């Protein structure tokens, strides 16, 4: 099993969603949020596209977005496959106003031994 994790940051995109793209552990991970300006008490939809080093979509991953605030408030979203290879999506409720540290963690099944 390969585990990749990293900070999910956000930058404005022309489509109106916040997005981030990062390469780590031989994977390319691209994520986006809707709405791009999360609000207290509103659901935020996160979508993540994961590709391997060759650019092939990665299926079978367990993808989570744990988040927290400095005061100990926590939230977590489990992202599920969308039916499109390599794309996972889920919703997260940010219950308080302020700075949230949201991280992406993914566990990818190892290739079978040959």
Structural domain of 45: 2-108
Flag whether 113 is in a domain. no
8 A C-beta contact, residue 55 and residue 68 = no
Flag whether 114 is in a domain. no
Two structure tokens written together for 40: 């207290």
Strand order in the sheet with 62-68: 2-7, 101-108, 62-68, 74-81, 87-93, 43-51, 27-34, 18-24, 11-12
Flag whether 85 is in a domain. yes
Domain count, the chain: 1
Q: What is the pLDDT along the chain (114 residues), one digit of tens a residue?
A: 333 444 343 333 333 345 556 666 778 888 888 888 778 888 999 999 998 888 899 888 899 989 888 898 898 999 999 999 999 999 998 888 888 888 888 887 666 555
What's the confidence (pLDDT) of residue 85? 93
What's the confidence (pLDDT) of residue 15? 38
CATH number at residue 47: 2.60.40
pTM of the predicted structure, to 2 decimals: 0.74
């Amino acid at each position: 099993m390969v585990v990749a994790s990293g900070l999910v940051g956000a930058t404005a995109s022309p489509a109106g969603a916040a997005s981030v793209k990062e390469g780590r552990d031989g994977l390319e991970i691209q994520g986006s949020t809707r709405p791009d300006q999360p609000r207290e008490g509103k659901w935020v939809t996160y979508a993540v596209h994961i590709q391997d080093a060759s650019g092939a979509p990665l299926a079978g991953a367990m993808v989570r977005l744990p988040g927290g605030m400095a005061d100990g408030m926590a939230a977590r979203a489990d992202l599920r496959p969308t039916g499109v290879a390599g794309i996972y999506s889920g919703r997260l409720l940010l219950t308080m106003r302020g700075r949230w540290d949201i991280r992406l963690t993914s566990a990818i099944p190892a290739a079978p031994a040959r």
